[in-house]
Amino acid sequence: MITLDPTTVRNLFADLSHQAEVLIELYRLIFPDWERIVKLEGYPAINDHTWNEIGELFIAFDHLHHPDVFAGGCWMNRGFTIEKDIPDWTASLETCQAITNHTETDQMIADVYNVRES
């Protein structure tokens, strides 16, 4: 399980100007080695409370920065999935497999983040 800091998450919406940037930074909170990942199978899981909190942030963000899009659509289409038995502001990778090209020296990171070589 990975703990998400609510303040850090909220600051992404204040500091960035495009929904795709926010989404990528949310994934980067889960996968600090984001640049090495070539594909995700599935999505990280969070509980419904956390999902809704982030969803509301995306809706407000889209109203401000992207008034011509379906507000919150980026999060609904590409955001995390919901699992009810996860604590608030915690993410699980049980529903997500990261695939990356990595070297032997990266194996420890791969093991920690449930990553397999493509």
- pLDDT tens digit sequence for 5-53: 999 999 999 999 999 999 999 999 999 888 889 888 999 999 999 999 9
Q: Per-residue pLDDT for 108 more than 70?
A: no
Q: Which amino acid is at 105?
A: T
pTM over 0.85: no
Which contacts (CB < 8 Å, 24+ apart) does range 33-38 have?
33/100, 33/106, 33/109, 33/113, 33/115, 36/100, 36/101, 36/102, 36/106, 36/115, 37/98, 37/99, 37/100, 37/115, 38/99, 38/100, 38/101, 38/118
Strand segments, DSSP code E, in 75-114 are 81-82, 90-91, 96-100
Across 44-64, average pLDDT: 95
Domain range annotation of the chain: 2-117
